[in-house]
Amino acid sequence: MAYLATGVGTTALGGKIEIAQEEQRGRVALALMTDAGYDPRQAPEAWRLLEPKDLPANPQSLNYPRLSGYELGILNLQYNAERAAGPEKTFTEAALSGAR
């Protein structure tokens, strides 16, 4: 019985650690995108389009995954001042110009 309680506690803690790691990866990804000159506000939209295995006929009908909501919160808190500093390239603009 003690093993069962320990296993449940470990599983719950593991889930919290996974979420914390996913959020940290999201913050690092936003920072790297900004450092590379991309518009980090494109990230939540990219996650929304990459989430499903098959895109529906109307991609606008897709919901934002949890990571997108978290990144939007980070963007609103930390990236407003940086955005005012100057224009960044969107993913599409960078791809068309061949820049990285």
* Rounded Cα gap, residues 83 and 29, in angstroms: 16
What's the whole-model pTM score?
0.56
Segments making up each domain of the chain, as ranges:
2-97
pLDDT in tens, 25-53: 988 988 898 899 988 888 888 888 888 88
Closest C-alpha among 35, 42, 26 to residue 93 = 42
HSE at residue 80, side-chain half, CA atoms within 13 A, is 5
On whether the CB atoms of residues 30 and 43 are closer than 8 A, the answer is yes
On whether the CB atoms of residues 47 and 30 are closer than 8 A, the answer is no
Whole-number average pLDDT of the chain: 76
* Rounded Cα gap, residues 54 and 83, in angstroms: 33
